[in-house]
Structure 1
Amino acid sequence: MSRKEKAVVILSGGLDSTTCMGIAQDQGYELYPLTFDYGQRHHNELDNARAVAEHYGVSSRHKIVPLSFLKEIGGSALTDPSLEVPKAADGDADEIPITYVPGRNLLFLSIAASYAEVIGAGRIYIGVNSLDYSGYPDCRPEFIAKVEETIQLATKAGVSGRTIRIEAPLMHMTKAEIIREGLRLGVPYELTTSCYQGGPYACGECDSCRLRLKGFAEAGAEDPIPYAKK
């Protein structure tokens, strides 16, 4: 690229979204990270997102968008403190877990599309995955394809012929493959968190922690963050 094209990166402060930051940078894009404060119990991930943005030298372009109404709506153990975050072994593997936040990625991508249209970005990066994930319906390739189609129909950019694409580079990668790619790119995993509980240390027991630990083990690498229990 003679002049860097812009990419909006949905940055949660977790392992997957931070890997997307590394991939977008490696592909030559000018990074515009977008983080959402939706009342999640793992609120400390916002500090992680700030640290990641600083690491990549884009703190001045990092936006944190308040979406507190998702906490008010509830329906998820990540936003409703009266609901317990399940441990990895809890529940039916065929059921969508209670950590699913209704409409979260649909909202995130809609807002990211608005931001991309305003700043002239042609790409939106999101760290969804359909292999090593928790079974959320808004992490599937068919969901991403339909939202991308809707963006083209619903935006001035789209109907004017300026395409806004959704990049989901981790979609068909295992957690170990994601970690290996991130390590190759020098992604700062020590600045990330994946724990749903939101305590001072990752719990090591929730679904997200177990997937992360399993991924590092299979990648033959040591997870650089502290855990309350492994």
Structure 2
Amino acid sequence: MSKKAVVLLSGGLDSTVCMAIAKSEGYELLPISFNYHQRHSRELAAAAGVAKHYNVGHHLIIETNMEAIGGSALTDPQLAVPAGQADAANIPITYVPARNLIFLSYALGYAEVSGADKVYIGVNALDYSGYPDCRPEFIALFQQLANYATKATAADGRKICIETPLISLTKKDIVLLGAKLAAPLQLTTSCYQGRDAACGQCDSCLLRLKGFAEAGLTDPILYHTRSE
């Protein structure tokens, strides 16, 4: 029986490199993506392309509605996505309340049912936008919760490990690792605007472009404006 790993796959740079890592470690890939009414829903098409690249048996897409909660420029059409604020000290308006908590909970359930013993998530505590649910402290606490949250872990003696291989890497390191593992970075999207060509101005674009520039590589996706 092959060992299995659930991979939270957004269609972005980090989650795709996570997918490549899980593949390189010999896991059968079980990607899970979310249609949460995000304004940049184009990332779902990118995630589908990445899943197809890895020839996965099933790409699970969960329908949920975080637009109904609001409070984020990624889900509320009344809020504008900020530009040029990647280095801001405060948690930005693009933070989606409790998103990783919700996504990891779905992934944990999927891991239990599918027999996976790993859940990969591409959170990062260095080159990121200050989101609280990307911190090592959050992951450590969720792991403690996961150890007691399911029949598999609480009664059957299984442990489902939350893997965060990118958490201490810079964007430069992530880009270089993706290139080393031949991850399909050309299929990914990171832009919060969700257009065919990335805006090159939002926090996510700026962090991505910075990573490629520091790695000495050219980002293979299309941009409306490149702000290296």
TM-score by length of structure 2 reads 0.97
Instruction: State the AA in 2 paired with 1:10.
Output: L
User: Could you tell me which residue of structure 2 aligns to residue 65 of structure 1?
Assistant: 62
Instruction: State the AA in 2 paired with 1:43.
Output: S
Runs of at least 5 residues in structure 2 that lack an aligned partner in the other structure:
none
Cα distance between partner residues in 1 of 2:34 and 2:133: 16
Alignment of 1:205 with 2:201, yes or no, is yes
Runs of at least 5 residues in structure 1 that lack an aligned partner in the other structure:
none
How is 1:59-208 mapped onto 2 (pairs within 5 angstroms)? 60-68=57-65, 70-89=66-85, 93-159=88-154, 160-208=156-204
Deviation track 1:146-181 (CA, whole Å, cap 9, x = no partner) reads 111101111111112100000000000000000100
* Structure 1 counterpart SS, 2:61: strand
Identical positions, percent: 60
Q: Root-mean-square deviation (CA), in Å?
A: 1.0
Cα distance between partner residues in 2 of 1:40 and 1:141: 25
Cα distance between partner residues in 2 of 1:33 and 1:44: 17
User: Could you tell me which residue of structure 1 aligns to residue 210 of structure 2?
Assistant: 214
**Structure 1: 4+ residue segments shifted above 6 A:** none
Instruction: State the AA in 2 paired with 1:202.
Output: A
Cα distance between partner residues in 2 of 1:122 and 1:115: 10
The number of residues matched between the two structures is 225
TM-score by length of structure 1 reads 0.96
1:96 deviates by 0.5
* Structure 2 counterpart SS, 1:61: coil
* Structure 1 counterpart SS, 2:129: coil
User: Could you tell me which residue of structure 2 aligns to residue 17 of structure 1?
Assistant: 15
1:89 deviates by 3.1
Instruction: State the AA in 2 paired with 1:45.
Output: E
1:208 deviates by 0.2
* Structure 2 counterpart SS, 1:133: coil
Instruction: State the AA in 2 paired with 1:140.
Output: R
Cα distance between partner residues in 2 of 1:80 and 1:56: 33
